[in-house]
A and B are shown apart, each in its own frame.
Chain A
């Protein structure tokens, strides 16, 4: 009765699409989450940007898959997940940024990514509302885009349900029994279950869940704050990422969602470590002047709501995915570093094949880069 092929811990951006793919493959899947419904952890705090224009192979290929899933979802399954192909753009105001972006372009183009450098004049033609002072130009990748995290995850959730997946909400995993190198059972506050494979997709709580299996994962969340405005007529479907630093903050980014609302987020500096998800009074004064300085037109937007969410970070800024050596039926899908939403569907697709043993040699390489057993000395360029 309580035996499953796969038990997934976490019904969030990562666990839910994985469950969907495993359910489609006919597996008996149980998803456990202590929250009352899907996506109540970090998913609903994501701002919705989806890009394949990363700096390394694994994330580029995974997000290309994600983009394919997001962009075709509505026409295939009917759920309006608010996908919009608005692109991403990194304006450059410093020589260093210009140099970094141009160097990355070469690598990105090698993977077939549609991204280009726009000179100052072309950039101003494309984004006439941007502050021209000191602008050197910027990148633009038109195939990237955005969708509603909350609507997407619910679309994946209902699709998973249709494919026979069982979800238990308001149920917290408290222990894992092991025998040798196998997890034999999972105990929650409501029951005990057996899974042939146990997947950790616990987002901000990945390290705690891994520890239950006797595994250490270097995942340490920090928090970022985000906000959303009232809706206005569409003027900026593109995600603008300003990588400059300012006192108290690193980069910040914003775009206009398909509903007409602007959504924005900032990276505090120094990082605020820990799991506090309660909004602070620092955020709005900090981001408002940076956004308005970059685009004066934004000053008349009405802010509607703000929130704070976690970036489950790893030392090198890349996720940790795959089986482990010490516990053979335990599978990591952790440390998404704030990109669980955009990585989720693509990763769910590949990880489900990995769990089922169906990955091609080429596909295996994608996930090999994300092994727990790498040395974590690299650095994600856009971290």
Chain B
């Protein structure tokens, strides 16, 4: 039987687990006690979870975040979301085919009163913004309830295995995301006025100013907060194209969840759509998990993410195709290949440029939308509500941490009726951290053949400066007032060859060239984040320049762990001087056949493109109504059911708006859909206060 577990990982520890047996369609399978059912199924090579009632279309995981319901399976007779349901021994799991059967019940169960609790501040979401806000509130002794629908704090930090950008002093630059999450969690847990409820989703907000939450995934509690802070992060945008709902097409967040949280090798061959930081980083995470990355496309003329992320991928052997779009995902029951093509200035496909690549997974990383409907509805109902982090504005987690801090302080001031001065420094830092990448700047290089010095390959202004913090000689300079600059090596301060700048750089964009032993065959030190299992001293490896052009195959003279920086290695080569100064990375993905297009071209599937995944409504159906003059999304919904499904329009709204604009609808004519509770579908019994397990006594 296929086993898609990640057995070793260069950055993540593989914790011990308890193996249990479960059954999928009657077949016995092995899984891990308590892992999400979606992870157990992926680990066993199962990617199709259900078949839609409308057209039997096979469906797989999509959001991996409990938001959409597309992964619903039948567990011991009940329909449950695979991505939110922990696996237990002997579970009998079946794919959902069409509509589920309502399981028979003789007993109503015992009704309990619904508990009402009060708090000063309710923070929804324990990610980077929610945690830092809770810390500020906790330090001020404000009674705070922090809820998160996952079983761990940290939000998406839990999934971030890469080192963070920003600066060391105030946003943990150079430290890996999941480690930052642990630091913040420790601090929050030490604050006595902050209560934490995990496995607790906020499912509704009501006009009588109460928030309905499902504590421990089963006890319905009504919370009355004086102030709400929504730190609910973001959700991925969906993209309409033929085949976009095939199992194997999903968001980068779902992918990172599978790979970095669930430690499942979710794919053998991955193709990525979208060159923002999310897509670029997902590509890197894939390589670290031993997954081949076939390619990455970006519709713009350059990637939107940090250039260091892109360069890193390219150097490792992943082709990045700019000005390309996805034409279709192909396959009968799941993704077997993807067809992409070049686009012209108006982003239209250039006929004849189509290429088809074999892959089993297509990651959609075309941007994020804030999860803010809770906040909007709370405001609507006259509640005091704030946003922090991605829920307010999509940016890096480092910016979210500042945004949470600021909101925490602001709310403290509100509640204590005293004006809390937000340190100007915080706001400034947050703004810098939110910055989009700036100009391309070629860093200066010493260029000579003597002594030892660092070479910087970052080449683009981004908010990042940990290299300046770690240099013991203070020889690396970026304007401390504006960390957007690129680093400059100050020759007069000198370099002692300590290699700390190489180790800490989150972009793997610093190398060290040492001419001290041999001036025409200097030693080059490169950072390496793939552990010490695959590469050893004496092995040969392909070294590339900054742009990924091979400089030749060289022998590794040493590979060692870089002191304090977790799971980063330093690998050294001896190379001719001119090559050595250009060396920037290693090819990780050496098998060229992975990235080559297939010979046969699979024509575009002329099925209508699905806009609403839940109700399987096509772009054609929606366009027809827009052309008939429909401008109210509520009316569109009434007629087509688009947005009426389990996810409540979370994925199709932005596509519908796009279709409206494409059809020439004026924004002022468009009416957005009405928000209503609930935000997550929730069993009726929980509202009656019935406790699971009790009814079977």
A-side interface residues toward B, CB under 8 Å? 36-40, 44, 129, 131, 148, 150-151, 153-154, 158, 169, 229-233, 235, 259-260, 276, 278-282, 284-285, 288-289, 291-293, 296-307
Contact, CB under 8 Å: B104 / A297 = yes
**Chain B residues closer than 8 Å to A40, beta-carbon distance:** 632, 634-635
Which residues of B sit under 8 angstroms from A288, Cβ to Cβ?
A: 684-685, 687-688
User: What would 10 more interface pairs be, CB under 8 Å, given A36-B671, A300-B684?
Assistant: A37-B635, A150-B637, A154-B635, A154-B639, A292-B690, A298-B684, A302-B682, A303-B682, A304-B646, A305-B676
Q: A281-B210, A299-B108 are in contact. Are A291 and B381 (CB under 8 A)?
A: no
A307 and B206 alpha carbons, distance in the complex (Å):
10
Report how many A-B pairs have Cβ atoms within 8 Å.
154
From A37, A281, A302, give the contact of B222 (CB < 8 A). Answer: A281
**Alpha-carbon distance A37/B542, docked complex (angstroms):** 64
A171 to chain B, nearest CB (A): 13
B628's contact among A38, A158, A276, by CB below 8 Å, is which? A158
Alpha-carbon gap, A151 to B635, bound state (A): 9
Chain A residues closer than 8 Å to B424, beta-carbon distance = none
Contact assessment for B99 and A232 in the assembled complex, using a CB-CB cutoff below 8 Å: yes
Take A38-B635, A292-B109 as given contacts and tell me if A279 and B207 are in contact as well, using a CB distance cutoff of 8 Å: yes
Can you sample 23 A-B contacts with CB below 8 Å? A36-B634, A36-B635, A36-B671, A131-B108, A230-B69, A232-B99, A232-B101, A235-B102, A281-B206, A281-B210, A285-B687, A285-B688, A288-B687, A289-B688, A292-B109, A296-B105, A296-B109, A299-B108, A299-B690, A300-B683, A300-B684, A301-B102, A306-B676
Q: Is B631 at the interface (CB under 8 A from chain A)?
A: yes
B487 at the interface (CB under 8 A from A): no
Q: Which residues of B contact A (CB under 8 A)?
A: 53, 69, 78-79, 98-109, 111, 114, 204, 206-208, 210, 212, 220, 222, 380-381, 628, 630-632, 634-635, 637-639, 641, 646, 648, 671, 676-678, 681-685, 687-690
| Pairwise interchain contact B684-A302, C-beta atoms closer than 8 A | yes
Contacts of A301 in B (CB 8 A): 102, 683-684
Q: How far is the CA of A276 from the CA of B381 in the complex (A)?
A: 11
CA–CA, A231 and B54, complex, Å: 12
A44-B634, A154-B638, A299-B684 in contact; A230/B105 too (CB < 8 A)? no
Contact A232 B102 (CB under 8 A): yes
* List of B residues within 8 angstroms of A291 by Cβ: 684
Of B103, B204, B641, B677, which is in contact with the most chain A CB atoms at under 10 Å from its CB? B677
Do residues A276 and B207 form an inter-chain contact, with CB atoms below 8 A?
yes
Which one of B108, B637, B671, B683 lies within 8 Å of A302 (CB-CB)?
Answer: B683
Distance in Å: Cβ of A61 to nearest Cβ of chain B: 29
Residues of the B chain whose Cβ atoms lie less than 8 Å from the Cβ of A289: 111, 688-689
Residues of A within 8 A of B641 (CB): 259
User: Closest approach, in angstroms, between the C-beta of B657 and any C-beta of chain A?
Assistant: 15
Contact between chains at B687 and A305 (CB < 8 Å): no
Q: Give the distance in Å from the alpha carbon of A158 to the alpha carbon of B36 in the complex.
A: 47
B637 to chain A, nearest CB (A): 8
How long is the Cα–Cα vector from A259 to B645 in the complex, in angstroms? 11
B625, closest chain A residue (CB): A154
> B648 — nearest CB in chain A belongs to which residue?
A305
**Nearest-CB distance from B465 to chain A (Å)?**
48
Q: Is the CB of B676 within 8 A of A307?
A: yes
Please indicate which of the listed interface residues A131, A282, A296, A298 has the most CB atoms of chain B within 10 Å of its own CB. Answer: A296
**What is the bound-complex CA distance between A296 and B684, given in angstroms?**
11
Contact assessment for A151 and B639 in the assembled complex, using a CB-CB cutoff below 8 Å: yes
Given A305-B648, A305-B676, the answer on whether A281 and B635 have CB atoms closer than 8 Å is no
Question: Across the interface, which residues of B come within 8 angstroms of A169, CB to CB?
Answer: 632
- CB of A151 within 8 A of CB of B634, answer no
What CA separation (Å) do A288 and B204 show in the bound complex? 16
Chain A contacts for B687, CB-based, 8 A: 284-285, 288, 303
Tell me the complex Cα distance, A178–B326, Å.
63
With contacts A37-B630, A40-B632, A296-B106 taken as known, whether A151 is within 8 angstroms of B638 at the C-beta atoms is yes
CA–CA, A158 and B629, complex, Å: 11
Docked-complex contact B688 and A300, CB < 8 angstroms? no
Tell me whether A39 and B684 are in contact (CB under 8 A): no
Task: Please indicate the chain A residues that have their CB under 8 angstroms from the CB of B684 in the complex.
Answer: 229, 284, 288, 291-292, 298-303
Bound together, the chains give a CA A300 to CA B634 distance in angstroms of 29
* Given A233-B102, A305-B678, CB of A150 within 8 Å of CB of B688: no
CA distance in complex: A40, B220 (Å)? 31
In the A-B complex, the 8 residue pairs with the smallest Cβ-Cβ separation, listed nearest first, are A150-B638, A278-B207, A37-B632, A37-B635, A299-B685, A288-B687, A284-B687, A36-B671
Chain B hits for A233, CB < 8 A: 98-102
A39 and B638 contact, CB distance less than 8 A: yes
A306 partner, pick from B102, B634, B678, B689, beta carbons under 8 A: B678
- Say how far A71's CB is from chain B's closest CB, in angstroms: 20
Q: Which residues of B contact A299 (CB under 8 A)?
A: 105, 108-109, 683-685, 688, 690
Q: Closest Cβ of chain A: how far from B3's Cβ, in Å?
A: 33
- When chains A and B are docked, how far (Å) is the Cα of A307 from the Cα of B78? 26
| Interfacial chain B residues near A302, Cβ < 8 Å | 79, 681-684
CB contact under 8 A between A282 and B208, given known A296-B105, A303-B682: yes
Bound complex: CA of A333 vs CA of B633, how far in Å? 28
CB A122 to nearest CB in B, in angstroms, measures 21
How far apart are A257's CB and chain B's nearest CB, in angstroms? Answer: 11
Chain B residues within an 8 Å CB radius of A231:
53, 99
- Which of B222, B681, B688 is within 8 Å of A230, CB to CB? B681
Question: A46 → chain B, closest Cβ, in Å?
Answer: 12
List B contacts of A131 (CB < 8 A). Answer: 108
Contacts of A304 in B (CB 8 A): 646, 648, 678, 681
Tell me whether A296 and B108 are in contact in the complex, defined as CB-CB below 8 angstroms, given that A230-B646, A301-B683, A304-B678 are known contacts.
yes
Q: Which residue of B lies closest to A308 (CB)?
A: B207
Q: Which residues of B contact A154 (CB under 8 A)?
A: 635, 638-639
Give bound CA distance, A308 to B678, whole Å: 13
Task: Tell whether, in the assembled complex, residue A278 and residue B102 are in contact, meaning their CB atoms are under 8 Å apart.
Answer: no
Known: A37-B671, A233-B99, A281-B212. A303 touches B630 (CB 8 A): no
Q: Report the separation of the CA atoms of residues A231 and B102 in the bound assembly, to the nearest whole angstrom.
A: 9
B677 touches A300 (CB 8 A): no
Knowing A38-B635, A40-B634, A154-B638 touch, does A279 contact B685 (C-beta < 8 A)? Answer: no
Q: Which residues of chain B are within 8 angstroms of A278 by Cβ–Cβ distance?
A: 206-207, 380-381
A37-B681 contact in complex given A281-B212, A296-B105, A304-B646, C-beta closer than 8 Å: no
**Chain B hits for A158, CB < 8 A:** 628
Q: Are B678 and A303 in contact (CB under 8 A)?
A: yes
Chain B residues closer than 8 Å to A285, beta-carbon distance: 114, 220, 687-689
CA distance A300 to B106 in the complex (A): 12
With a cutoff of 8 Å between Cβ atoms, the chain B residues found around residue A307 in the complex are 676
Give which listed residue, B100, B107, B671, contacts A232 with CB less than 8 A. Answer: B100
In angstroms, Cα B105 to Cα A268, docked, is 28
**Chain A residues, CB < 8 A from B53:** 231, 260
Q: How many angstroms from the CA of A194 to the CA of B632 in the assembled complex?
A: 27
Q: Which B-chain residue is minimally distant from A235 (CB atoms)? A: B102
| Distance between Cα atoms of A300 and B684 in the complex (Å) | 6
The closest CB in chain B to the CB of A79 belongs to B639
Say yes or no: B638 contacts A44, CB within 8 Å.
Answer: yes
A158 to B624, CA, bound (A): 13
A229 to chain B: closest residue by CB:
B684
Q: Which residues of A contact B628 (CB under 8 A)?
A: 158
- Whether A293 contacts B108 by the Cβ 8 Å rule is yes
Question: Taking A301-B684, A303-B682 as contacts, is the C-beta distance between A280 and B206 under 8 angstroms?
Answer: yes
Q: Is the pair A297, B102 in contact by a Cβ cutoff of 8 Å? A: yes
- Cβ contact of B681, chosen from A148, A297, A298, A303, cutoff 8 A: A303
* A148 contact set on B, CB distance < 8 A: 638
A40 CA / B204 CA spacing, docked (Å): 22
Cα(A301)–Cα(B210), bound, Å: 23
- B631 & A36 in contact (Cβ 8 Å cutoff): yes
A36–B632 contact, CB under 8 A?
yes
Q: Which residues of B contact A151 (CB under 8 A)?
A: 638-639
**A residues less than 8 Å from B671 (CB atoms):** 36-37
Among residues of B, the one whose C-beta sits closest to the C-beta of A149 is B638
